[in-house]
Amino acid sequence: MDSPEMDRTDTSEAAMASRIVRYGELKPCKTAFIDAHTPGSNRKENFTIIGGGVSESADQHVHISIPHGFNIGAAGQPPRCRNSLHSHRTAEVFFVLKGRWRFFWGRRGDAGEVVLEKGDIINIPTGIFRGFENIGTDYGMIMAVLGGDDAGGGVLWAPQVIEDAADHGLVLGENGKLYDTKQGQSLPEGIGPMKTLTEAELDDYPEPTAKEVVPNHVARYWDMMSLADKTPALVIGETGMLRDRPGFEVGLLNHNSATTEMHRHDRPSVLMPMRGHWKVTWENGGTHEAVLAPGDTMSVPENLKHTAVPSMTGEASLFHVVATDDPAGPTWRG
């Protein structure tokens, strides 16, 4: 289910309110992917905040459908719930909003792993199988940025994930849609099941070690906070902490680098508070403002003068995402 159509040029207070997705108003989908019935993965929730995302379910709610050049989503999982091994053709970036998470990768998920804490970010290389698991003691949430307006056309699953799902009643069609045999659904006429990758095709999926992945694709929260001491830290970008050109840039702001000086971008941008409350101010026949809390997401229209600053003392951090002219695609190796 998509969100109502929005006028992307409307910057009235009412229109801007519709471009803010509050954490407490996120609408989850519990049947988003093929492993929705598989034990160990059957309690996860998927959220599509901006863009169509990569959900395989018609039940997925899209909060904001305006194209941004990338997608924003989230995954919520209780302890010991995992997301099965899959791959993407464009960037998949996560930062940990709540909880403690283990990310693992490789054909069988045993090539390497890393544990991320609150605020840490990972830019997972394209073309490798990856999964993630909440290893904390409470419900956890990770926020996601996916490259491209179509997020690379969907998810590529490890063969065993498709095979396990069939044993629990879910079939993925070659059209990228899920069918639940437990509910009497079957593949439409003329639509076959999604083919699993052959052994020859699987040979093209690399198995990088943690020594290869972690230094180049993981940024720790307090390192980002240190580098944002005077100007925003460029976390992901051609000259960023994590050097990549995925079709967007990710920056981090804090008390020291936030500014009240109005600025604008020539394309939509996204504000995602990590810690503290942030006051966003914009100009439209006067000055308007809104306050964002951790977990909220705000889409800022292109060419709109605005600024974002912490609204109170204490720890404050905010991730900022904006598209670039680089095409979405494989991880840039520099």
| pLDDT tens per residue, range 130-168 | 999 999 999 999 999 999 999 878 899 999 999 999 999
Mean residue pLDDT of the chain comes to: 94
Token couple for 199: 């052994």
DSSP assignment of 134-203 equals E-SSS-EEEEEEEESTTGGGS-EE-HHHHHHHHHTTEEEBTTS-EEEGGGT--PPTT-PBPPPPPHHHHT
pLDDT of residue 6: 59
Percent of the residues in the chain that have a pLDDT greater than 70, as a whole number:
97
Tell me the average pLDDT across 184-198: 93
CA atoms within 13 Å, Cβ hemisphere of 230: 0
Domain edges within the chain: 13-218, 220-323
Please state which CATH class domain 220-323 belongs to: mainly beta
DSSP state of 250: E
Tell me the average pLDDT across 101-129: 97
Q: Which band of pLDDT confidence, cut at 50, 70 and 90, is reported for residue 1?
A: very low
49: left (phi over 0), alpha (psi -120 to 50) or beta: alpha
Q: How many residues does the chain have?
A: 334
pLDDT of residue 7: 61
Percent of the residues in the chain that have a pLDDT greater than 90, as a whole number:
88
pLDDT greater than 90 at residue 129: yes
Do domains 13-218 and 220-323 share one topology? The answer is: yes
Q: Which residue's entry shows tokens 């993965």?
A: 41
Nearest to 155 by CA among 171, 141, 176, 134: 176
Integer angstrom CA distances of residue 203 from 87, 107, 221: 14, 9, 35
Assigned fold of 13-218: Jelly Rolls (2.60.120)
Exposed/middle/buried for 263, CB within 10 Å: 0-12, 13-18, 19+? exposed
Residue 61 contacts by C-beta under 8 Å, 6 or more apart in sequence?
1, 2, 3, 27, 29, 48
pLDDT of residue 58: 85
Integer angstrom CA distances of residue 127 from 21, 202, 208, 295: 31, 10, 11, 29
Q: Which residue's entry shows tokens 């981090």?
A: 252
Strand partners, 280: 290, 308
Sign of CA dihedral 201, 202, 208, 214: positive
Per-residue pLDDT tens over the stretch 194-247? 999 999 999 999 999 999 999 999 999 999 999 999 999 999 999 999 999 999
Nearest to 251 by CA among 95, 107, 17: 95
Contact 35, 307 (CB under 8 A): no
Contact 67, 144 (CB under 8 A): no
Tell me the average pLDDT across 6-23: 84
CA pair distance 175, 51, nearest whole angstrom: 19
Contact 298, 43 (CB under 8 A): no
Instruction: Outline where the chain has alpha helix (H).
Output: 13-17, 159-167, 199-202, 210-217, 221-227
Specify the DSSP element, H or E, that contains 318: strand 317-323
pLDDT of residue 153: 81
pLDDT of residue 13: 82
Tell me the average pLDDT across 156-184: 93
Exposed/middle/buried for 104, CB within 10 Å: 0-12, 13-18, 19+? buried
pLDDT of residue 14: 86
Sign of CA dihedral 243, 131, 292, 274: negative
Largest CA distance in the chain: 61
pLDDT of residue 9: 66
